[in-house]
Amino acid sequence: MNNEKELTGYPSIDKPWKKFYEGIKHTELFLDTTPYIGLVQNNKDYPDEIAIEYFGSKIKFGDLIRDIDLVAKALEEYGIKKGDFVTICSTTTPEVIYAFYAISKIGAVANVMSPFYTSEELLARINECNSKLIIMVDKFIPKFRETLSKEGDKTIVILPLMNSSVLRFLSKECKVNKRNEISWKNFVKNGKNRKTVAVQPYEYHSPMAMVYSSGTTGASKGILLSVDSFQRLINAYGNSGFDTSRRQAVFQNIPPWHSTGLSLGINFPLSFGVKMCTDPRFDHEVFIKSVMKYKPEYILTNTSMYQGFTLAKNLKRLKGKSLSFIKYPVEGGETLTEKDIESIETVFREHGSSARLLNGYGECECGATVTTDITNNKFSNDASGIPLPRITTIGIFNDEYNELKYGERGNILVKTEIGMLEYYKNPQATKDFFYDAPNGDRWSKTGDIGYINHDGSLVVLGRKSDISIINGVKFYNFDIERAILQSDKVKLCEIQTHPDDENRLVAHIVWENDVKESLTTQPDKIENYLREIQTVAQKQLCTDMEIPESFCIWDSFPSAPSGKRDIRLIKNSIDNLIEIRLEKQVGGKSNEI
């Protein structure tokens, strides 16, 4: 690998990322373990260290392990055994963590569901895996109660959101109906007198959890993950150069129905003895307040939350305060521009932190992480890091599955040891997701477009499906967004077609802070600024058809409950559109890489 002549030009063969892991001591702390076994083995000697902070409550590792074991007893009391699915529909609370590890202890499978389904969709997925026990946070009960109350063969455990919080006495309690519901308190109480539950040993590729696809390309599908999806992932992070020593803290607010929330938000920190702090709300102001409250070395959240550091109202809140505690701010889920990264890192530096914003890329089907930034090298700002050691290989392929060379853009494919077992009970979709190469390698088709740099870092451009078809011609929306973001006046950009005219592009824009301020006193400048944006984009793109003539100005983009941008709301919010007729193109540039 040190001899440039040995390189073939094909990333999946050369594996140039391997050189960045040379000299890092390799351990196998979590290999051949289950989440429960790994957590207990690494934390049983530290019972008085804080494991979880949740709305004022501090839960020690000794108490965490005790409560996990109590929930495991309760699960057995209600007939749950190895291989059974237990449905969890909740934000991240301590009880969800207890349930996840208790399910692991007895060898069951956590069926982790989002509350954003309809009642019929939720019930269909529960019935598909024959789940008889549903743990649901009380805030979601009103939406689903009527449907679930008719399911006499199911037990609904109602979990108060603030059950483990110091605020629990101030929260309004959700009353339990007597048909098939039970309170969390009584659920745990009913199992207390059982004998200690036997620990299920590790079995290669045994099912551990099921999460669900977003449904953007069809009906949502169950993604079945194994114990190795969790344990090999965190083991690889431990061998990647990150400081995983005890008594650090992470603030994370990725919900558990995303595999990232389960694996990196919960299992990663707690397994290593790192304190987990959480607040389920996706709000820029809440996020900044939480960071200042918990002072975490690690932060794990969706990309859009980090943009809260650059908002004017939050900059005022940070004035005179230190962020020197931040070591590993990790983001993912959406693309950040170089300008975004520079703006966020400037705020870090101005407040005493030398941390780099660590980008990552992954999807549930690939076990949460495909690539990640590492601590001992600075990749380009538009890259999403490199594969973790020993578990993942990446490649770029054309539509005929011929691998492309460095810098050539095409379909991102992933070969990984931590990927899903299957789309549950959907053999055709499973077959379609994987590409089985003639040499026997199995590749996952991510559905994303990107390219690989010579250093092995991956640049993700966007979804292959993120297109607009204007007068019969297909364009990638992410190409247009990247071109517009070359303007120094634009902080964020989202390209969508007009909801009433699919042949009309709309550029949804968030101005840079200084531009916002100037427009408050000189609003007549807005037309000149928008024309300037069109000119900048013309220099980057191939045709005038790609240049928007309709603009919608936002103070900030709204977030969906998942934490990502609320694309549907953005697309349909077209009040006060500004129309700017395009001037003749003065020069174009191919967007081919």
The pLDDT assigned to 171 comes to 63
How far apart are alpha carbons 229 and 352 in whole angstroms? 36
pLDDT of residue 3: 46
The share of the chain scoring above pLDDT 90, in percent, equals 79
Q: Does residue 236 belong to any structural domain of this protein?
A: no
Q: Give the confidence band of 590 by pLDDT, cuts at 50, 70, 90.
A: very low
Are 411 and 485 contained in the same domain? no
Residues 91 and 167 in one domain: yes
Residues 429 and 498 in one domain: no
Task: Say what angle helices 94-106 and 61-77 make with each other, to 10 degrees.
Answer: 60
C-beta contacts of 41-50 below 8 A and 24+ residues apart: 42/271, 42/272, 42/273, 43/270, 43/271, 43/273, 46/246, 46/273, 49/246, 49/247, 49/273, 49/275, 50/275
Tokens describing residue 470: 């204007």
32 in Cβ contact with 417 (< 8 Å):
no
Residue 366 lies in a domain: no
**Does 210 reside within a domain?**
no
Q: Is residue 45 domain-resident?
A: no
193 inside domain: yes
Q: Considering its fold, how many domains does the chain have in total?
A: 3
What's residue 360's pLDDT?
87
Contact 276/269 with Cβ under 8 angstroms? Answer: yes
Instruction: Say if residue 178 is in the same domain as residue 63.
Output: yes
Same domain, 431 and 543: no
Final residue of a structural domain among 150, 175, 203: 203
**Is 198 within the bounds of a domain?**
yes
Look-up of token digits 């460095």? 406
More confident residue, 5 or 546: 546
- Judged against a pLDDT cut of 50, whether residue 1 lies above it is answered with no
Give me the domain span that covers residue 504.
466-579
The 8-class DSSP code of residue 314 comes to: H
175-176-182-183 Cα dihedral, nearest 10 degrees: 0
Q: Is 367 helix (H, G, I), strand (E, B) or coil?
A: coil
Q: Quick one: residue 224, left, alpha or beta (phi over 0 = left, psi -120 to 50 = alpha)?
A: beta
Task: Note whether 97 and 91 are within 8 A (CB).
Answer: no
Domain boundary among 462, 496, 522: 462
> Does residue 584 lie within any of the structural domains?
no
| Chosen domain end from 420, 438, 462 | 462
In 3-state terms, the chain is what percent helix, strand and coil (to 5)?
Answer: 35, 25, 40
What span, in angstroms and rounded, lies between the C-alpha atoms of 361 and 384? 6
* Band of residue 380 on the pLDDT scale cut at 50, 70, 90: confident
Query: Do 516 and 441 share a structural domain?
Result: no
Neighbour order of strands in the sheet with 490-498: 490-498, 501-511, 550-554, 578-579
Let me know if residue 591 belongs to a domain: no
Judge if 433 and 470 occupy the same domain: no
Burial class (CB in 10 A: 0-12, 13-18, 19+), 279: buried
What digits encode the pLDDT tens for the residues 285-297? 999 999 999 999 9
Name the percent of the chain lying above pLDDT 70.
94
**Is 50 exceeded by the pLDDT of residue 491?**
yes
Is the model's pLDDT at 197 over the cut of 90?
yes
Q: What is the per-residue pLDDT across 271-286, written as a single tens digit (0 to 9) for each?
A: 999 999 999 888 899 9
Q: Are residues 410 and 498 in the same domain?
A: no
Same domain, 485 and 574: yes
Is 495 found in the same domain as 423? no
Task: Indicate which CATH number applies to the domain containing 118.
Answer: 3.40.50.980
Instruction: Give the type of residue at 45.
Output: D
